Amino acid sequence: MGQDDKVMPLIDMANIACGFHASDPDIMVRTVGLALQHDVMIGAHPSYHDIQGFGRRSIPHSATQIHALIWYQLGALAAICQAHGTQLSYVKPHGALNNDMMRHSEILEAVMDAVVQYQPGLPLMLPVTRDYKAHQALALSRELPLLMEAFADRAYDDRGRLVPRSVAGAVLSDPKAVIAQALNFAQLGGVNSINGEWLELPADSLCVHGDNEAALEAVKGIRQALSA
């Protein structure tokens, strides 16, 4: 909950952990209350069950297990929303589950099926990559709305994937660089790769990782620039 009080007034959408990699019922209630207070859309942030690894370690799951995992976590958060007179706005898988679904189409399809079977019309949020048209086709065949997410504070490689955090330059730490990348996504529908190649990546949502003070400054700058 470190910076939640500071970040919530600045954002439009909050990804809320559902107890499998972080959080617990008490914290979820407080976070939903905070989101409501600031009129922030609530996204469920389900993950593999791995508190120790913060959901960042891949754990093999069958499609049936992925369905169960997602339903359980979506429902837990949805109930807290419902008791507060609000609802989930979207689903965004966390950590290794997110990575795995972007690499293995059978996992992506299991995630998609879980969301659609739970609640038709509820959007799934995906990182936008060069494969976005294939992802849109998979979603369209299920009548699943997609939200494409771009990262304002992470560098992209020439294939439109995030540069791994272990590589120098992977994380943009200068708020000005973050703001510039955000404007590119918002106004030009893409971004330059870390090697300077232009990537066409149409995004519905911009993400800044909320774990340092620089992020706060960047988010304020992005809001000012976009409203200008």
Q: Of the candidates 4, 36, 58, 105, which one interacts with a copy of itself according to CB under 8 A? A: 58
Q: Least distance to a copy of itself from the beta carbon of 71, Å?
A: 4
Q: Does 57 bind a copy of itself (CB under 8 A)?
A: yes
Sign of the Cα torsion 50, 96, 196, 205 reads negative
d(CA 125, CA 43): 9
Amino acid at 95: G
Binding segment toward a copy of itself, per CB under 8 A, in 114-122, 125-133, 146-154, 189-197: 114-122
Q: Are 223 and 180 in contact (CB under 8 A)?
A: no
Helix/strand/coil for 172: coil
108 binds a copy of itself (CB under 8 A): no
- Considering the rule CB under 8 A, would residue 78 count as an interface residue with a copy of itself? yes
- Lay out the site mask for a copy of itself across 156-185 (x = CB under 8 A, - = otherwise): ------------------------------
Give the shortest CB-118-to-a copy of itself separation in angstroms: 5
Least distance CB 30 / a copy of itself (angstroms): 9
Q: How far is the CB of 191 from a copy of itself (least distance, A)?
A: 30
Q: Cα(48)–Cα(198) distance, rounded to whole angstroms?
A: 34
Let me know: does 123 contact 147? Beta carbons within 8 Å. Answer: yes
Residue 37 lies near a copy of itself (rule: CB under 8 A): no
Identify the residue among 6, 9, 37, 83 touching a copy of itself (CB under 8 A).
83
Q: In this chain, which of 119, 141, 187, 224 binds a copy of itself, going by CB under 8 A?
A: 119
Reading the block at residue 162, the tokens are: 């995030």
Distance, CA of 22 to CA of 131 (rounded, Å): 30
Residue corresponding to tokens 């120098």: 168
Contacts (CB under 8 A) with a copy of itself, residues 6-25: 19, 24-25
Helices (H), the chain: 4-7, 25-37, 63-83, 95-103, 105-118, 132-140, 175-183, 213-227
From 104, 113, 118, 101, select the one nearest 47 (Cα to Cα): 101
106 makes contact with a copy of itself (CB under 8 A): no
- Write out the residues near a copy of itself by the rule CB under 8 A: 19, 24-26, 28-29, 49-53, 57-61, 64-65, 67-69, 71-80, 82-83, 114, 117-119
